[in-house]
Amino acid sequence: MSQIRLKIAIQKSGRLYEDSVQLLKECGIQLRNVKDRLRTEADNFPLEVFFLRDDDIPQYVEDGVADIGIVGENVLQEKNKKAFVVEALGFGKCRLSLAIPRAEEYEGVQSLQGKKIATSYPFILQEFLKEHNVTADIHEISGSVEIAPGIGLADMVADLVSSGSTLFMNGLKEVETILESQAVMISNIALSSEQELILQKLLFRIRAVKKAQKNKYILLNAPNDQLTQIIGLLPGMKSPTVLPLAIEGWSSVHSVLSEDTFWDIIEQLKEAGAEGILVVPIEKMIV
């Protein structure tokens, strides 16, 4: 009997493709040649990969053609398909925002009443307007949304924003965030028990990779008379590891620091007398 494989759909090109393939690689999953292919399999994990247009991924997952998929939250909400999020992945971050000509003043959501708004996300925009009891004329455009006000097609746009440079170059300014988005893993609502088991194994690996990305391994030398203070600054996963050095009166301290608090704690460690501080990236972190 053939081995059961979990089928995953990822973007075949575009901003999520490379990060999705890299994530699987960091999870130790070896994919056969992925260049210019629409389908491939992993050699060392029961996973089959489909490379699809991002707009199609929610439909494939709802239909069960793919069991899971990696897609932007913006696409998932716009397509409004029956698939649910099993993990936020932390990459591909952007936002769907309203933008107006820079010379104009924005007076809040109610000022959108009766306006013409160009967007590639009519469903999300309509839900947003409905939530605020606003009626506007939505113009659906598949690309180059930001030029719509300049050519007289619309008064404003609802478009994806990362840095905001594209809006700026087209004379627009961001005034309202409709949706914060990132890449998420979605799943079909009716996986078999075997597929669910494979998914949980995959999620275990993904979470170990994500945890590692958010933390740093730190090694430092500390005078013994300052150990209590230094250890108090290093919570670690349970508590720091302390080993005696060959030089009397000194110890080596090993711990893990969160990326969010890293620099503040490093400064405090130096002030407390820590020396020879080494910072090492973590490949995987299992807690």
State whether residue 178 is helix, strand or coil.
Answer: strand
User: Residue 33 has what pLDDT?
Assistant: 76
Selection from 207, 222, 216 nearest residue 236 by Cα: 216
Q: Alpha helix locations (H) across 164-226? A: 165-169, 193-213
User: Residue 163 has what pLDDT?
Assistant: 84
Domain boundary among 193, 212, 231: 212
User: Residue 51 has what pLDDT?
Assistant: 96
Q: Say yes or no: 64 and 122 in one domain.
A: no
CB atoms within 10 A of CB 180: 12
Select the more confidently predicted residue: 203 or 37.
203
135-142's contacts with Cβ under 8 Å and 24+ in sequence apart are 136/112
User: Residue 260 has what pLDDT?
Assistant: 84
Domain membership flag for residue 1: no
* CATH code, 275: 3.30.70.120
1 band by pLDDT with thresholds 50, 70 and 90: very low
Q: Measured between alpha carbons, how far is 87 from 250 in angstroms, rounded to an integer?
A: 44
Average pLDDT, rounded, for the chain: 93
User: Residue 236 has what pLDDT?
Assistant: 59
Query: Phi-psi bin for 195: left (phi > 0), alpha (psi -120 to 50), beta?
Result: alpha
Span 71-109, pLDDT tens digits: 999 999 999 999 999 999 999 999 999 999 999 999 999
Q: Say yes or no: 86 and 187 in one domain.
A: yes
Q: Alpha helix locations (H) across 43-158? A: 57-63, 73-79, 122-131
Q: Which domain holds residue 83?
A: 6-92+182-212
| CB 109 within 8 Å of CB 100 | no
User: Residue 37 has what pLDDT?
Assistant: 79
Q: Model pTM greater than 0.75?
A: yes
Q: Say yes or no: 149 and 264 in one domain.
A: no
| CB 67 within 8 Å of CB 75 | no
Q: Say yes or no: 166 and 51 in one domain.
A: no
Which amino acid type is present at position 243? L
Domain membership flag for residue 52: yes
Q: Say yes or no: 106 and 152 in one domain.
A: yes
Span 200-259, pLDDT tens digits: 999 999 999 999 988 999 999 999 999 999 999 886 567 789 999 999 999 999 999 888
Average pLDDT value for residue range 158-185: 94
Q: What percent of the chain has pLDDT over 90?
A: 80
Q: Say yes or no: 165 and 221 in one domain.
A: no
Q: Say yes or no: 160 and 144 in one domain.
A: yes
Q: Say yes or no: 133 and 238 in one domain.
A: no
User: Residue 14 has what pLDDT?
Assistant: 85
Residue position matching structure tokens 């090694």: 219
Which strand (E) or helix (H) includes residue 267? helix 262-271
Selection from 210, 230, 205 nearest residue 220 by Cα: 230
The number of folded domains in the chain is 3
Q: Measured between alpha carbons, how far is 139 from 36 in angstroms, rounded to an integer?
A: 34
| CB 99 within 8 Å of CB 80 | no
Residue 69 scores a pLDDT above 70: yes
